[in-house]
Structure 1
Amino acid sequence: MKLVLTALGVVLLIAAAVYVLVPAGQLPAFFPGHEAGGMRVHVKHGIVSGVVGIVLIAAGAWMGRK
């Protein structure tokens, strides 16, 4: 369970970086918020993904202590 939480947290942190750095028109089609030709950056999606990723990594670390 620890490995799953940590891996999912890392994936969400990578997704957060993609949301913050890539315009909506260049996001992969399977990402929520993909807009064909869109030039805005989805900062809110990035913040939420980053926070959830950090929480999952912290939960994985906490589970590993028991």
Structure 2
Amino acid sequence: MTRPLPLIAGILGLVFLALAVLYWLTPAGELPSFLPGFVAGVDKPHVKHALGSLVVAIVLFGFAWFQRAPQRR
């Protein structure tokens, strides 16, 4: 039986990984305005936002990995 929690954690991990790449490669002035960190006219990427998103993605992937282990009976 497939448990939904590891699947949800894995999908959220992918979302945060994509967000980390977006923060790393896109200057703050070119980010979509609904994302935290949008600052009009700034040409530097948000490195701290990227690292934070990467850490959250790694934690979610680790959680999903350990939740997928077979249950003991």
**Pair in the same fold by TM > 0.5:** yes
Once the two structures are TM-superposed, the CA of residue 40 in structure 1 deviates from its matched residue by 1.4
Q: Distance in 1 between matches of 2:33 and 2:41?
A: 12
**What is the distance in 2 between the residues matched to 1:9 and 1:48?**
12
From the two aligned structures, give the one with the greater helix fraction: 1
Relative CO higher for 1 or 2, CA cutoff 8 Å, sep ≥ 6? 1
Aligned partners of 1:59, 1:41: CA distance in 2, in Å?
28
> In the aligned structure 2, how far is the partner of 1:59 from the partner of 1:38?
35
Q: TM-score, normalised by structure 2?
A: 0.86
Question: Where does structure 2 lack aligned partners over 5 or more consecutive residues?
Answer: none
Q: Distance in 1 between matches of 2:41 and 2:26?
A: 12
Count of residue pairs the alignment pairs up = 66
Alignment of 1:13-28 (within 5 A): 13-28=17-32
Structure with higher Rg: it is 2
Provide the identity percentage. 42
What runs of 5+ residues in structure 1 fail to find an aligned partner? Answer: none
Q: Give 4+ residue runs of structure 1 displaced > 3 Å after superposition.
A: none
CA distance in 2, matches of 1:8, 1:37: 30
Selected match of 1:37 from 34, 41, 57: 41
